[in-house]
Amino acid sequence: MPETVALKASVREKSGTRNSVALREQGKLPAVVYGHGKDTVSITLNTNEFVDSLHHGNRIFDVDLAGAKDTLLVKDIQYDYLGDTVIHADLMRVDLNERVKVEVMIKLAGTAAGTHMGGIIEEIMNRIEVECAVRDIPEFLLVDIKGLELDKTLRAEEIELPESFVLVTNPNAGVVGCHEPKAVIAEEEAAEGVEGEEVVEGAAEPEVITEKKEEEGSSK
């Protein structure tokens, strides 16, 4: 079961871009809480406390608002235009036993067989979406790639999931591949181009036959 972290929060009375900017300058993070048939509530969190918890893999939080304790799941995080700073969060009320759809980070384990033949690993997706009970949400899913051969792609449906999990991501979606380096492919294509030019030069020989026919016609 993932760790549930207690966060301090306060109800946000004012809304709007100007107010949100002012809060962020004070080290506070604007957020909203929704779900379970209750009203949506605008709140503020301590930015450093929230971000630090995220970096430690926490996704579930206990928050006390106006004397009411809610268990919240992080559903969406918004970043600034540089993609570095968290500027807003959406938190959904949940029960630890209910099933939810959630994106889980992927971590690769092992050395792909194809790398021994000169291949390089291309991580196509760094997370997949699954459905599971809130209490079972993992920090990450470990994906074994030792059997991944050169010019092969591991698809989402091939990832081994816990028995109670259901895959939501497209089963055919590529997750990680092992391919030849682009430089090698470019060299091979260039070599094929040279061979093609040699064939074209050889194909010019029939013109000589035409010239011979013209000479025969002029001698008659």
Q: Position of tokens 């026919």?
A: 213
DSSP E strands: which ranges in the chain?
Answer: 4-7, 9-11, 28-35, 38-46, 60-65, 68-79, 86-93, 99-109, 120-123, 127-133, 140-144, 152-155, 166-167, 174-179
**Predicted confidence (pLDDT) per residue in 36-74, tens digit:** 988 899 999 999 999 998 888 888 999 988 777 899 999
Total number of domains in the chain: 2
Is 110 domain-assigned? Answer: no
pLDDT confidence of 189, banded at 50, 70, 90?
Answer: low
pLDDT confidence of 191, banded at 50, 70, 90?
Answer: low
Q: Which two tokens stand for residue 185?
A: 């492919």
Q: Which of 32, 60, 94 is the last residue of a domain?
A: 94
pLDDT confidence of 167, banded at 50, 70, 90?
Answer: very high
pLDDT at 205: 47
Q: Which of 59, 94, 129 is the last residue of a domain?
A: 94
Distance in angstroms (rounded) separating the CA atoms of residues 126 and 122: 11
Q: Which of 51, 72, 94 is the last residue of a domain?
A: 94
Is 169 domain-assigned? Answer: no
Angle at 21 between CA 36 and CA 61, to 5 degrees: 30
Distance in angstroms (rounded) separating the CA atoms of residues 58 and 192: 52
Is 161 domain-assigned? Answer: no
CA 121 to chain centre: 15
Domain with 190, as residue range(s), is 182-219
* Rounded alpha-carbon distances, angstroms, from residue 22 to 9, 44, 82, 176: 17, 12, 19, 42
pLDDT at 18: 77
pLDDT at 190: 56
Mean pLDDT taken over the chain: 84
Is 214 domain-assigned? Answer: yes
Q: Is the pTM of the predicted complex or chain greater than 0.85?
A: no
CATH number at residue 90: 2.40.240.10
Q: Which two tokens stand for residue 202?
A: 């050889």
Q: Which two tokens stand for residue 218?
A: 């002029």
φ, ψ of residue 149 in degrees (nearest 5): -95, 170
pLDDT confidence of 172, banded at 50, 70, 90?
Answer: very high
pLDDT, mean of residues 80-106? 92
Indicate whether 88 pLDDT > 60. Answer: yes
Indicate whether 158 pLDDT > 60. Answer: yes
Is 80 domain-assigned? Answer: yes
Is 163 domain-assigned? Answer: no
Tell which residue, 71, 125, 132, has the closest CA to residue 101: 132
Distance in angstroms (rounded) separating the CA atoms of residues 41 and 37: 12
- Residue 87: how many other CB atoms lie within 10 Å: 16
pLDDT at 206: 46
Is 46 domain-assigned? Answer: yes
Cβ atoms of 131 and 152 closer than 8 Å: no
Is 105 domain-assigned? Answer: no
- Residue 44: how many other CB atoms lie within 10 Å: 21
pLDDT confidence of 209, banded at 50, 70, 90?
Answer: very low
**Predicted confidence (pLDDT) per residue in 102-149, tens digit:** 999 999 999 999 999 999 999 999 999 999 999 999 989 999 999 999
